Amino acid sequence: MTERTTFLFIGDSVTDCGRLDDPDGLGHGYVRILATSPELVGATVINRGISGNRVVDLAARWEADVLALRPDVVTVLIGINDTWRRYDSGDPTPADRFEHGYRELLKTLDAPLVLMEPFVLPVNAEQQRWRGEDLDEKIAVVHELAATFGAHLVPLDAALTARAVGKTAAALADDGVHPTDRGHELIAGLWLDTARASGLV
């Protein structure tokens, strides 16, 4: 059982996973897996993911969905929609704007932080371009912010990409972005690895 009492997870659809339709409010993804793990027995686990969110959307709800809840540990997974909207809507989020918005959020916190890399596991030719043209810069921002704020970093993009070698990416994220059950299991495991190593659980 962890000594930490409230773990809050915030981000986009990868975190959301239908939480609003779940009586427990956890959704059916990695947050639920973590909430039922032995390491978090006795803790309060809160899911504040919302599908489609970008950094600017987190800023609009940060006070109500994070600060007002006074969590003991905050985990953030954001960025893939800041990349995706460039390609499906012609609405890019430049890396400097992403960095500024993300930094302003983290400056408001005094709880331990876990930052997770946004990721893509390309399943088509267009997604092959995303990382080099856009997402790599945002992953670098997450690394920089983790170092600046003393946050614990979960290398999702690197780890999931490595695990997709020799398999189809779709086995972990069938559309390249939204994890399958196996993908969520891996995300939960990677979070736990980081949390154990850093003494958060």
Q: What's the whole-model pTM score?
A: 0.96
How much is the pLDDT for 127?
94
Burial of 6 (0-12, 13-18, 19+ CB in 10 A): middle
How much is the pLDDT for 2?
58
Query: Tens of pLDDT along 14-65?
Result: 999 999 999 999 999 999 999 999 999 999 999 999 999 999 999 999 999 9
- Say whether domain 6-196 belongs to CATH 3.40.50.11540: no
**Active-site residue identified among 51, 57, 72, 178:** 178
Position 70 confidence tier, pLDDT thresholds 50, 70, 90 = very high
CB atoms within 10 A of CB 90: 7
Written as one string, the DSSP assignment of 104-123 is HHHTT--S-EEEE-------
**Active-site residue identified among 12, 13, 134, 152:** 13
Residue matched to tokens 């003991």: 72
72: annotated active-site residue: no
175: annotated active-site residue: yes
Query: Tens of pLDDT along 143-159?
Result: 999 999 999 999 999 99
Is the pLDDT at 171 greater than 60, yes or no? Answer: yes
Tell me the domain boundaries of the chain.
Answer: 6-196
Q: What is the spatial order of strands in the sheet that 73-77 belongs to?
A: 44-49, 6-11, 73-77, 113-116, 152-154
CA 131/CA 128 separation, integer angstroms:
7
Coil, strand or helix at 132: helix
96: annotated active-site residue: no
**Active-site residue identified among 28, 51, 175, 198:** 175
How much is the pLDDT for 1?
45
